[in-house]
Structure 1
Amino acid sequence: MNLCTFAFVCLCGVVLPMTGFAAEPAAAAADSAAFSIAGTTAQGLGFLAAALSTGLSALGAGIAVAAAAPAAIGAVSENTKSFGKAIIFVVLGEGIAIYGLLISILIINRL
């Protein structure tokens, strides 16, 4: 039932804009043109690029930390003097997410 409902909603989201069923009348569209917040295709792709850069870099950082943190914990449990060296590798994995966030901020500032 859930799958059928989801398919119906997706189909309505594709078919209704193509038929013009949900379109505004021309007079109302002219009045609301000054208040429209719709952007261009380039802006939409820019926001998509910003979202992808943040999301994929966070995913990469999660994978890096998932591999580095257990190894760092194991190294510190055997030798407590290796804490400084071990934490550097965990922090380098976190830096990937920060770089992706900075790139997305730069992309959004250009829009």
Structure 2
Amino acid sequence: MRAKRLVASLTLFNLAILFLVLGIVAWAGNSLAEPAAAAEQMPDGMRAWGAMAAAVAVGLGSLGAAIAVAVVGSAAMGAMSEKPELGGRALIFLGLAEGIAIYGLIIAIMILGKF
């Protein structure tokens, strides 16, 4: 029960950060359409906000992946102790959980590509 509450609160926190990042990108608007020309027109703190948004995307993505791998890994080890033939399926689910961190990294690369 406590794990479900933690996952739900982290999901809401991640959605709030996502909307914050989307708001920053939308606020930047069309001035970031051409990165070479936009670098001169960019406000002073815009690069810092972009770097912070990329760091938050990677950090929270990695945190979410760590929690998912912990939950899925412990359940997979319990299932494999009873039925060893479930090892292949367990690896698939662990890979899906690890994909969350990769998604965060991709979003960070997309954010940093704007600057």
Bin for the TM-score computed over the shorter chain: 0.5 to 0.7
Where is the helix percentage greater, Structure 1 or Structure 2?
2
Question: How much identity, in percent, do the aligned residues show?
Answer: 48
In structure 1, what is the equivalent of residue 83 of structure 2? 79
Bigger CA radius of gyration = 1
1:105 is aligned to 2:102: no
Q: Distance in 2 between matches of 1:82 and 1:46?
A: 43
1:52 is aligned to 2:56: yes
Ranges of 4+ aligned residues in structure 1 off by more than 6 Å: none
User: How far is 1:40 from its partner?
Assistant: 2.0
Q: Distance in 1 between matches of 2:59 and 2:113?
A: 18
Question: Which segments of 5 or more consecutive residues in structure 2 lack a partner in the other structure?
Answer: 1-42
Root-mean-square deviation (Å): 1.2
User: How far is 1:105 from its partner?
Assistant: 0.9
In structure 2, what is the equivalent of residue 28 of structure 1? none
1:61 is aligned to 2:60: no
TM-score by length of 2: 0.60
Q: Distance in 2 between matches of 1:57 and 1:79?
A: 31
User: How far is 1:54 from its partner?
Assistant: 0.2
TM-score by length of 1: 0.62
In structure 1, what is the equivalent of residue 95 of structure 2? 91
- Superimposed CA distance per residue, residues 90-110 of structure 1 (whole angstroms, 9 cap, x where no aligned partner): 111110001101110111111
How many aligned positions are there? 73
User: How far is 1:84 from its partner?
Assistant: 1.5
